């Protein structure tokens, strides 16, 4: 069964074909009304359930539109409204939902719950963000960079700020797509050591920095994310510790002259990035948000191909 919980177990050739499929489906329906179904309707009759334990705008709407454009349908479960929210086990929930729907996307507080859900489920399970990773986001990000003309292999991407869930998925992607990743974080905000070690063991180039200027030197892409992720309790401390890691025009000047800027959104202008960067000509953030739809169509198709 093809779960999409992290990039690690998916061979690079399959990740490449997911990206290619995302791009060709996007091109094939260019200009069509958003509610129309792709001509081949590859997921006709299939239903996706989406479980949310945390807030979401992009993931919720892009997955909903994705399954519709593939010919299927979706239903949204806010976990607090379900028996999960009253303590029904993850395993029982997985077994029950597997009798009703064809795939489940989960945005969860605990990555381990997504793993447990997938073990008990008999349908594909997709990680729509956990505290540990956000693999669907990175597929959209990489699609965006390729569409903007970047050849991923051999390129240099700089992650500035918190070594969080989104940073983790960039680390996972580095050896799969052959880009090098420079990560600049203050002490205490390092990415998970096991992610860095595994990426390096798989011939990925991951360089860790304390100085954002050094991390962005010569970078083709600069990436920022919120300093306070969903579930983080220590907002005041984070904002204080991470303040020197804000992406400003001044910092962008140290990157490659044509460097692009990414941010998965939602953004906090003036905290992790200045408005003139995120709203400026190097920013691809709205293409990136749009590509969540296209990348996830390809992920859904990969999960559900029979
Ligand atoms: N980038 C992202 O996952 O956005 P949402 O939290 O709005 O889904
Ligand atoms: N790191 C952020 C990403 C939001 C899409 C969070 O987990 O809240």
Q: Which three-class secondary structure state does DSSP give residue 130?
A: coil
> What digits encode the pLDDT tens for the residues 116-164?
999 999 999 999 999 999 999 999 999 999 999 999 999 999 999 999 9
DSSP H or E stretch at residue 205: strand 205-209
Q: Is residue 242 very low, low, confident or very high in pLDDT (cuts 50, 70, 90)?
A: very high
Ligand nearest to the backbone CA of 229:
2
What percent of the chain stands above pLDDT 70?
100
Q: Which of 186, 187, 193, 159 is nearest to 174 (CA)?
A: 159
**Distance in angstroms (rounded) separating the CA atoms of residues 84 and 94:** 10
Would you say 106 and 136 are in contact if contact means Cβ atoms under 8 Å apart? Answer: no
Biggest alpha carbon–alpha carbon distance for the chain: 54
Q: pLDDT grade, residue 306 (50/70/90)?
A: low
Q: Tell me: pLDDT of 257 over 80.
A: yes
Q: For residue 265, give the ligand 1 atom closest to its CA.
A: 1
Q: Give residue-wise pLDDT tens across range 188-216.
A: 999 999 999 999 999 999 999 999 999 99
CB 143 within 8 A of CB 295: yes
Q: In what order do the strands lie in the sheet with 260-263?
A: 205-209, 180-184, 156-160, 221-224, 260-263
Phi, psi for residue 105 in degrees, rounded to 5:
-105, 135
Q: Strand, coil or helix: what is 70?
A: coil
Whether residue 226 is predicted with pLDDT greater than 80 in this model: the reply is: yes
* Half-sphere exposure in the Cβ direction for 222 (13 Å, CA): 35
Query: Distances in Å between the alpha carbon of 67 and those of 46, 62, 146, 155, 185?
Result: 8, 9, 24, 32, 37
Taking only the tens place, the pLDDT of each residue in 272-300 is: 999 999 999 999 999 999 999 999 999 99
**Which residue has better confidence, 1 or 207?**
207
Sorted by where each starts, the structural domains of the chain and their CATH numbers stand as 12-134+292-304 (3.40.50.1370), 149-283 (3.40.50.1370)
pLDDT at 291: 98
Residue 139 and residue 262 in contact, taking contact as beta carbons nearer than 8 Å = no
Mean pLDDT, rounded, for 47-61: 98
- Across the range 244-254, mean pLDDT stands at 98
Q: Output the six-digit token pair for 65.
A: 């539109």
Pairing of β 47-52 and β 156-160 = unpaired
7 closest CA partner among 236, 151, 123, 165 = 165
Mutate to test the pocket of ligand 1, among 262, 292, 296, 299 (most ligand atoms within 8 A of CB): 292
Ligand 2 proximity of 264 Cβ (cutoff 6 Å): yes
- Rounded mean pLDDT of 47-70? 98
**CA 133 to centroid of ligand 2, rounded, Å:** 9
pTM higher than 0.75 for the full model? yes
Scan for tokens 């400003």, then name that residue: 248
Q: How many CB atoms lie within 10 A of CB 60?
A: 18
């Amino acid at each position: 069964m093809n779960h999409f919980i992290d990039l690690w177990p998916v061979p690079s050739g399959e990740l490449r074909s997911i990206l290619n499929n995302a791009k060709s489906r996007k091109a094939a329906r260019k200009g069509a009304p958003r509610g129309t179904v792709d001509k081949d309707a590859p997921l006709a009759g299939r239903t996706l359930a989406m479980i949310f334990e945390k807030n979401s705008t992009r993931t919720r709407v892009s997955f909903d539109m994705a399954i519709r454009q593939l010919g299927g349908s979706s239903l949204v479960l806010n976990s607090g409204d379900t028996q999960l929210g009253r303590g029904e086990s993850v395993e029982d929930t997985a077994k029950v939902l597997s009798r009703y729907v064809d795939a489940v996307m989960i945005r969860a507080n605990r990555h381990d719950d997504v793993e447990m859900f997938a073990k008990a489920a008999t349908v594909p399970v997709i990680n729509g963000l956990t505290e540990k990773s956000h693999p669907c986001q990175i597929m959209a990000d990489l699609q965006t960079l390729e569409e903007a003309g970047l050849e991923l292999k051999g390129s240099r991407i700089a992650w500035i700020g918190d070594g969080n869930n989104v940073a983790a998925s960039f680390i996972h992607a580095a050896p799969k797509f052959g880009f090098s990743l420079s990560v600049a974080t203050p002490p205490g905000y390092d990415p998970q050591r096991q992610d860095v070690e595994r990426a390096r063991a798989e011939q990925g180039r991951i360089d860790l920095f304390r100085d954002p200027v050094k991390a962005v030197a010569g970078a083709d892409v600069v990436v920022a994310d919120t300093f306070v992720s969903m579930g983080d309790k220590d907002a005041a401390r984070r904002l204080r510790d991470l303040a020197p890691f804000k992406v400003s025009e001044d910092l962008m000047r140290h990157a490659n002259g044509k460097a692009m800027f990414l941010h998965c959104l939602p953004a906090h202008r003036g905290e992790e990035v200045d408005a003139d960067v995120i709203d400026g000509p190097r920013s691809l953030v709205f293409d990136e948000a749009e590509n969540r739809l296209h990348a996830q169509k390809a992920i859904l198709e990969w999960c559900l191909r029979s």
